[in-house]
C-alpha cells in the first residue's frame, strides 16, 4: 500500500473549509494578470492567472500551528513517513499508498522526549475559531497558533474528528481576518486552485495547480469525498486552505499519494462543506453523528451488470444486509443494485458511504434500486453509525482509560480465534501513554475477558491505579500495563 502522507504537520495531513458564499466558478471575482483567452486552435497557450491579489487579501487568515507532544514509544520508521510505520512494521510493506501527510518535526523519536510539530490552519471566525486537520493536533499537549503579523496564541482544541480528519481550535482574540467560504460543488475539474500553508515549516508558502478530480474515495474508510488536485502539498501544509480563483476556501489540504514520502503530484483536500458540517457538530455537541443503512456494497463490472440486466456497470451492488439494520427494515436484499441516493446518482459503489455518512441519524432517505430487472424506490431511515460501529466506553471510563472501542464481529472473532474482544478505534490518555494503538484488540482486562465496552468500563472502574490489558496486535498477543494514575 502506498504511503499516503498528510501534509499539514510535519507528521500529519493537510486541510479544508466550508461553503457559505456561493459564486459560480465561471465568475472572475479575483483580479488576474489578464482576461483568459478563449481556448481555440489559434490560441498557442493560456495565460496563467496572477494569484497575488488573492494571497494579499486572504493570506492573513492562514495560520501556522505548532504543537508539542511527548514521545511515548520508540519508532524505527524513517522520519517524515506517515503514521503506521512504527515499531513492529515492515518499512517496505506499506510504502506505496494513501495516508496522512506527517507533521513537520525537527527532531525526536526517543521515548520521553518532547517533539515539536508544525502544520497549518485558517481562521473561519473573527472571534478566533480556526479549522485544521485532526492529525495536526492529535496527541498534542500544547498547541500554539502564529498569525501572519507574528502574534502568537495558545490554542484550545474545541474538538477533533479522526474519521474526517477535521479539528476545531479556538484562540482568545477578536477582529481577526477570516477566509471566505465557497461551494465545492460549483468547482469544475480543470479549474485553477491555490494552497497556502507551511510546508517544512516555511510559513505562508503559496502553491498553485488545478482540480484533477472530484468525489475521490480513498481506501482509509474516512467517508470523505475528496477533491483531488495537483497542487504541491508537503509536510507542514496539512490543515491549510485550498482556494478557488474567487478567493473562496473550497477544501482543507489533507492527504497526498506518494512513493517517496513527499509530494508527487497527487494531493487530496477535504471539501469545505464536509469540514464545516463536522466543525458545527463538534462545537455544538462535542462529537460527530453519521448516518448508516447497514449494508455491504461492492463495485459492478461489465459482466455483473449484464447478469443483473443493467445496460452499464454503475451503482452499488448490495453484497450483504446486516440483520436488524435500517436496510433490512426497508426491505433491501443481497443482489439489489443501489442506483441513486436521495436523488443523486451513484456511479461508483465507493460514492455511497460518503453520501450516507453526511446525513444525520434518523433522516429518511430515498434509495433508487434495481431488482429483478426493474427499477423501484425504497425509503430507509438512517441509524447512527457510531452507535453500531463505535461502542465507546462512557465518559468516566474514557477519561480514566482513554479507549474508544467496538465489539468484534463474529467473522473477526473467528479470524483471531477468540470468543470476545474489543477493537480499538481511538486512543488517548492513559492507554495512549501505555502504547495501545488503533487496530489493537483488547481481549481481557485484569484477567477477565471483555466482550463489550460495558465490560471494560466495569473492570476499569473497579481497578485501583493499574490495569493489565491482554492485547492482540497482528498475530501476537501481549499484556500491556496501564497506569490509571
Residue stretches of the annotated binding site for substrate: 135, 165, 236-238
Residues in contact with 118: Cβ distance below 8 Å, sequence separation at least 6, in sequence order: 9, 10, 64, 65, 66, 67, 103, 104, 105, 198, 201, 236
Map residue 47 onto helix, strand or coil. Answer: coil
Question: Cβ(37)–Cβ(46) under 8 Å?
Answer: yes
Question: Cβ(166)–Cβ(133) under 8 Å?
Answer: yes
Residues in contact with 409: Cβ distance below 8 Å, sequence separation at least 6, in sequence order: none
Q: Are strands 205-216 and 448-449 parallel, antiparallel or unpaired?
A: unpaired
| Cα–Cα distances in angstroms (integers) from residue 388 to residues 43, 269, 274, 338, in the given order | 57, 28, 22, 22
Chain centroid to CA 275: 9
CA distance 205 to 233: 10
DSSP 205-248: EEEEEEEEEEEE--TT-----EEEE-----TT-TT-EEEETTSE
Residues in contact with 347: Cβ distance below 8 Å, sequence separation at least 6, in sequence order: 314, 315
CA distance 124 to 115: 28
CA distance 45 to 359: 44
Sign of CA dihedral 50, 53, 56, 62: negative
CA distance 348 to 76: 39
User: What is the set of active-site residues?
Assistant: 135, 165, 238
Question: Cβ(134)–Cβ(270) under 8 Å?
Answer: no
Map residue 367 onto helix, strand or coil. Answer: strand
What are the beta bridge partners of residue 215?
A: none
> How many Å is the Cα radius of gyration of the chain?
23
> Cβ–Cβ contacts within 10 Å for residue 138, how many?
26
Position of cell 494513501? 98
Amino acid at each position: 500500500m502506498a504511503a499516503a502522507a498528510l501534509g499539514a504537520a510535519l507528521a500529519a495531513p493537510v486541510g479544508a473549509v466550508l461553503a457559505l458564499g456561493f459564486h459560480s466558478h465561471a465568475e472572475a471575482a479575483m483580479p488576474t494578470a489578464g482576461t483568459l483567452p478563449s481556448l481555440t486552435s489559434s490560441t498557442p497557450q493560456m495565460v496563467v492567472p496572477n494569484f497575488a491579489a488573492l494571497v494579499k487579501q486572504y493570506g492573513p487568515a492562514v495560520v501556522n500551528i505548532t504543537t508539542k507532544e511527548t514521545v511515548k514509544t520508540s519508532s524505527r520508521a524513517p522520519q517524515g513517513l506517515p503514521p503506521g510505520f512504527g515499531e513492529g512494521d515492515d518499512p517496505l510493506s506499506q510504502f506505496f499508498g494513501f495516508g496522512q501527510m506527517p507533521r513537520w518535526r525537527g527532531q525526536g523519536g526517543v521515548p520521553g522526549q518532547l517533539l515539536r510539530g508544525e502544520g497549518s490552519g485558517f481562521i473561519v471566525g473573527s472571534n478566533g475559531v480556526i479549522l485544521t486537520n485532526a492529525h495536526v493536533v492529535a496527541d498534542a499537549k500544547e498547541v500554539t497558533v502564529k498569525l501572519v503579523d507574528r502574534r502568537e496564541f495558545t490554542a484550545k482544541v474545541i474538538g477533533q474528528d479522526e474519521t474526517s480528519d477535521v479539528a476545531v481550535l479556538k484562540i482568545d482574540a477578536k477582529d481577526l481576518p477570516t477566509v471566505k467560504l465557497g461551494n465545492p460543488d460549483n468547482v469544475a475539474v480543470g479549474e485553477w486552485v491555490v494552497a497556502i500553508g507551511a510546508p517544512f515549516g516555511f510559513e505562508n508558502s503559496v502553491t498553485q495547480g488545478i482540480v484533477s478530480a472530484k468525489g475521490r474515495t480513498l481506501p482509509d474508510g474516512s467517508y470523505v469525498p475528496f477533491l483531488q488536485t495537483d497542487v504541491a502539498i508537503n509536510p507542514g501544509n496539512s490543515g491549510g486552505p485550498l482556494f478557488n480563483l474567487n478567493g473562496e476556501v473550497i477544501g482543507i489540504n489533507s492527504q497526498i499519494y506518494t512513493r517517496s514520502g513527499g509530494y508527487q503530484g497527487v494531493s487530496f483536500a477535504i471539501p469545505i462543506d464536509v469540514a464545516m458540517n463536522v466543525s458545527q457538530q463538534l462545537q455544538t455537541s462535542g462529537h460527530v453523528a453519521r448516518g448508516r443503512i447497514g449494508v455491504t456494497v461492492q463495485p459492478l463490472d461489465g459482466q455483473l451488470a449484464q447478469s443483473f440486466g443493467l445496460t452499464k456497470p454503475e451503482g452499488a451492488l448490495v453484497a450483504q444486509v446486516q440483520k436488524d439494520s435500517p436496510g433490512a427494515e426497508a426491505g433491501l436484499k443481497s443482489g439489489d443494485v443501489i442506483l441513486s441516493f436521495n436523488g443523486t446518482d451513484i456511479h461508483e459503489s465507493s460514492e455511497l458511504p460518503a453520501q450516507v455518512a453526511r446525513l444525520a441519524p434518523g433522516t429518511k432517505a430515498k434509495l433508487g434500486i434495481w431488482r429483478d430487472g426493474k427499477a423501484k424506490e425504497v425509503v430507509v431511515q438512517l441509524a447512527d453509525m457510531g452507535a453500531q460501529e463505535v461502542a465507546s466506553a462512557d465518559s468516566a471510563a474514557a477519561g480514566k482509560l482513554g479507549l474508544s472501542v467496538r465489539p468484534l464481529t463474529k467473522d473477526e472473532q473467528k479470524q483471531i480465534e477468540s470468543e470476545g474482544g474489543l477493537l480499538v478505534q481511538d486512543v488517548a490518555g492513559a492507554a495512549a501513554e501505555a502504547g495501545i494503538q488503533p487496530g489493537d484488540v483488547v481481549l481481557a482486562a485484569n484477567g477477565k475477558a471483555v466482550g463489550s465496552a460495558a465490560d471494560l468500563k466495569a473492570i476499569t472502574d473497579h481497578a485501583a491505579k493499574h490495569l493489565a490489558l491482554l492485547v492482540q496486535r497482528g498475530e501476537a498477543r501481549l499484556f500491556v500495563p496501564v497506569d490509571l494514575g
